[in-house]
Copies of this chain bind each other. A is one copy, B any other.
């Protein structure tokens, strides 16, 4: 498989990205390749500087860069040779099996919609966040920021998308889907979550276990946590801040260490015609390496094909 990696995206690009590729390369299968996308001369000299002698990192030249603060749609229109545009071009053409970037999140999302596009039948693709679980392993929360407002039918579909990811990438048998809410009773919540509850309950494709509450985030109640992107974004950033505070206080624990964004590396975009992962802006080499490994898992589990099959029926 070929995993495209945006060498120019992220606060510490291109150095941290190239270093991350070097960490990931030996962990891939022999026939796998990492395609580093960006300014060829810069990447080439970094690979030399870091003493790279392998053969499974290739460079794909892209002369432009979408900056972190740029307006996504404008940037992608004005910069057709940016690393993000080129990355999605490779994904669309089948020249890459996955595309990863720690760059401009909005541009990554807009780029997906412009190039590989949403799978037919998907109302709104979603960015999912990985949630460390107390029993070990990870669960999934979606959406975490792509869709601030969500209609009930969109939340229902998030339950389906998340279930497929949980089953095939996280390898959770019959994943439990919970609707994030302010109470367990099905009449509780906003107008939207009340309606979403009924739809999720009636959906026979998923294992809906009902409403969950904020306190259930890390326990075993649900593997897939459904909420709108406004709520999911707040929850995810709150959890990250807890890790930062514990770290500053020098309080360490294997469970809380998994709150570190570096542990998993990225947030997958679910529901598009291809595998894409968005990394944290501050991604370190370790985070980049883990994002590549996550993308590899998504490709190996045929995630995008499974989504397509599910919605083409």
> Which residues on A are within 8 Å of B, measured CB to CB?
134, 145, 148-149, 180-183, 188-191, 193, 213-219, 228-231, 233-242, 244-245, 249, 251, 253, 255
Q: How many copies does the complex hold?
A: 2
A189 in contact with B238 (CB, 8 Å) = no
Q: A189: which B residues are within 8 A, CB to CB?
A: 148, 230
CB pairs A–B below 8 angstroms (30 shown): A134-B245, A148-B189, A148-B190, A149-B190, A149-B191, A180-B234, A181-B230, A181-B234, A182-B229, A182-B230, A182-B233, A182-B234, A190-B228, A193-B230, A214-B236, A214-B237, A214-B241, A215-B240, A215-B241, A215-B244, A216-B241, A217-B238, A218-B241, A230-B231, A231-B234, A235-B235, A235-B238, A238-B239, A249-B253, A251-B253
In the complex, what residue of chain B is closest to A217 when comparing beta carbons?
B238
| Residues of chain B with a CB closer than 8 A to A229's CB | 182
Bound together, the chains give a CA A65 to CA B244 distance in angstroms of: 45
Check if B182 sits within 8 Å of A145, measured CB to CB. yes
| Assembled-state Cα–Cα distance A134/B244 (Å) | 12
**Given the interface contacts A182-B233, A190-B149, A230-B182, does A238 sit within 8 Å of B255 by beta carbon?**
no
Q: A253 vs B252: C-alpha distance in the bound complex, in angstroms?
A: 12
A249 / chain B contacts, CB cutoff of 8 Å: 253, 255
A193 and chain B: residue at smallest CB distance:
B230
Using Cβ atoms and an 8 Å threshold, which residues of chain B touch A217? Answer: 238, 241
Seed contacts A182-B229, A213-B237, A215-B237; 18 additional CB < 8 Å A-B pairs: A145-B182, A149-B190, A181-B230, A181-B234, A182-B233, A182-B234, A190-B230, A193-B230, A214-B233, A214-B234, A214-B236, A214-B238, A214-B240, A214-B241, A231-B231, A231-B234, A238-B238, A251-B251
